[in-house]
A and B are shown apart, each in its own frame.
Chain A
């Protein structure tokens, strides 16, 4: 193989079919959830990751089977990018047979193989640090997704301090969407995430691209270093939440919502490769429609029989 200087590939074309499938599965899954809520067939609450799908799609391809993933309240994308099992996830959210956690956990509390989500902000980071302590030296890592709002929690700093002191393979993925429920970052965070990471001697990398393939290329050596050294790393994504915090609770002004929509990867990807995009988009939309129909028809879940 002849290695030459890599041509400036258009990052849009670097997305594989698999990437597109994953992105669009998450997009249609989240849209379906909002529809199901409108129809009154879902209980409780849900937090969709519309607009942020590319983050777990980029990250998951850098993860190994023996890595541990910790997710949060906005975790459907994290799960589907790691385990493309929309049946199990929707069954969990709807409390139907085949639910990942018997219907006990619901949207925010999933434990499947080495994927675990929980609903209290910041709570996962100390736990992830403990898991990473165990994994150190094996080449595996613990990856924890958190938001910008999570940085208000003291647990984040206690964990970063220990992770840095004890040199554990902890990858913290920050989905900085500029808003914590209804509070803009400017009203809830002094200083920056980069400076906070620096205070603990933890490496920090800022990502502004929304192209999963391009992001992955940049992150690959950094994530490798987390495993090899080992050492913690904070990767901060500047991203946008297209939808509401949960459902129908978006208080942002229309121009801000429009700005968020303009950054959406969906239209950009559709324009870049219309034919392939349309094909996979339809395929995933229909897949989610089938999943919704199948799972909705199932009987109620009972705990104990979970996968």
Chain B
């Protein structure tokens, strides 16, 4: 059994060992600290100056990563809390992403910016966000998120293979969970890099849910209750690539689609997913796609208040039940 944080750590070790052109930069990423969430543990001891603990300068760290990429190397940049990626917005959107196409020919910028996201840990309004939505629709920029179903090594190779900068979101609670969760009810498979979680032998589900890595466990909890308490069969699709929204397999047969997104309401990833699905499923849908998001508000520090703002299993269950009623 491997925790997601350990799995990511191993993937970074493998990546840096197999590709000497990879650099890793971030605040407190060096040993013995090994990063705020220990994902970079052991890397500086093994790979020396290719791993740099940096000053508190998210913008410049992203810029330095882009510079290394421009000069022919590759860079993994860690933003300690995803909230702080706002400080690197210019470097990521105006420089790294645009450089891939604003010079009239493809310019590779192999840069992965890792962003630990999410709440439910009581860190409060500036250490708990899911800022994915702020980066949707930036030309030249791809968004990925870690899930318990996807091999991180494969994701790194996919991201670097694109030759354009990627944001890689990693939910902080997910770090503590196991990879490839075994479940007595649901099985999973990968279909074209999208994880499909399904009830074995159940046939056509009542509802197909779509979510991102950080919400997998809360969504599975909801699916379990929906099955056992409400007699509703759900299936779950979890793409590791969030944007551009990839092809989500099997939806032609869906009775209902519900997108669950931990970002706060308004201009959301869930809405972007629905936008890509409507033309494809138009004429088959019986009702509008259900969108579940965190509330339109800051994320409070006190656990009882935080819980009310963020998407929880009971909220997902209620939304599915309501839309199918």
Contacts and interface: CB of A to CB of B under 8 A. Distances in A.
B60 A68 contact: no
A257 interface: no
A212 B141 CA distance: 42
B323 interface: no
Interface string A81-110: 000000000000000000111111100011
B54 interface: yes
Interface stretch (A24-32, A155-163, A172-180, A265-273): A155-163
A189 interface: no
A120 B102 CA distance: 13
Given A158-B60, A159-B60, A103 B67 contact: no
A143 interface: no
B99 A130 contact: no
Interface residues of B, number: 31
A111 B59 contact: no
B90 to A, nearest CB: 6
A161 B67 contact: no
Interface stretch (B3-11, B69-77, B208-216, B236-244): B69-77
B57 A303 contact: no
Contacts of A125: 60, 63
B104 A130 contact: no
Contact of B104 (A100, A129, A131, A154): A100
Label chain B's interface by main secondary structure.
helix
Contacts of B316: none
B57 A111 contact: no
Contact of A159 (B63, B70, B71, B107): B63
Contacts of A131: 67-68, 70-71
B126 interface: no
Interface in A104-140: 104-105, 109-111, 116, 118, 120, 123, 125-135
B70 A103 contact: no
Given A102-B103, A111-B107, A120-B90, 5 more contacts: A123-B95, A126-B66, A127-B64, A162-B60, A303-B104
26 contacts: A68-B71, A101-B105, A102-B103, A116-B103, A118-B99, A120-B90, A120-B94, A123-B90, A125-B60, A125-B63, A126-B59, A127-B67, A129-B60, A130-B67, A131-B71, A134-B67, A155-B63, A159-B64, A162-B54, A162-B60, A162-B64, A301-B104, A303-B105, A304-B104, A306-B104, A306-B105
